[in-house]
Amino acid sequence: GIQVEQSPPDLILQEGANSTLRCNFSDSVNNLQWFHQNPWGQLINLFYIPSGTKQNGRLSATTVATERYSLLYISSSQTTDSGVYFCAVEKGGSNYKLTFGKGTLLTVNP
């Protein structure tokens, strides 16, 4: 099956710092989503971005499908940004499931 690798696995920042999270995937994809998992376990949709660039406030994401990677940028980080960030992809031709990476645990200190 498709492989999804996220890096770094852990990231510790001071409030106000910027960060870049990376997601590499091993095959062509129909769908790529970034999620933030809150402390209660819910996956919050950040971006639906199979290709191109999107921005939402302090967050932005870029997916280069031909090179099989996606980046999530967090600017001016806040303590509320802490949590686990997941990248999930849907392999081309298997339009029924998302394959998740292992996530990046982000800790933002005040």
Partner 1 sequence: DAGVTQSPTHLIKTRGQHVTLRCSPISGHKSVSWYQQVLGQGPQFIFQYYEKEERGRGNFPDRFSARQFPNYSSELNVNALLLGDSALYLCASSLSRSFGTEAFFGQGTRLTVV
Q: Smallest gap, in angstroms, from Cβ of residue 110 to partner 1?
A: 25
With residue 105 as reference, give the H or E element that holds it. strand 104-109
- Which residues fall within 8 angstroms of residue 44, CB to CB, at 6 or more apart? 35, 36, 37, 38
The residue with tokens 């999107």 is 54
Q: Which stretch binds partner 1 (CB under 8 A): 10-18, 19-27, 34-42, 59-67?
A: 34-42
Under rule CB under 8 A, residue 82 binds partner 1? no
Under rule CB under 8 A, residue 95 binds partner 1? yes
Under rule CB under 8 A, residue 102 binds partner 1? yes
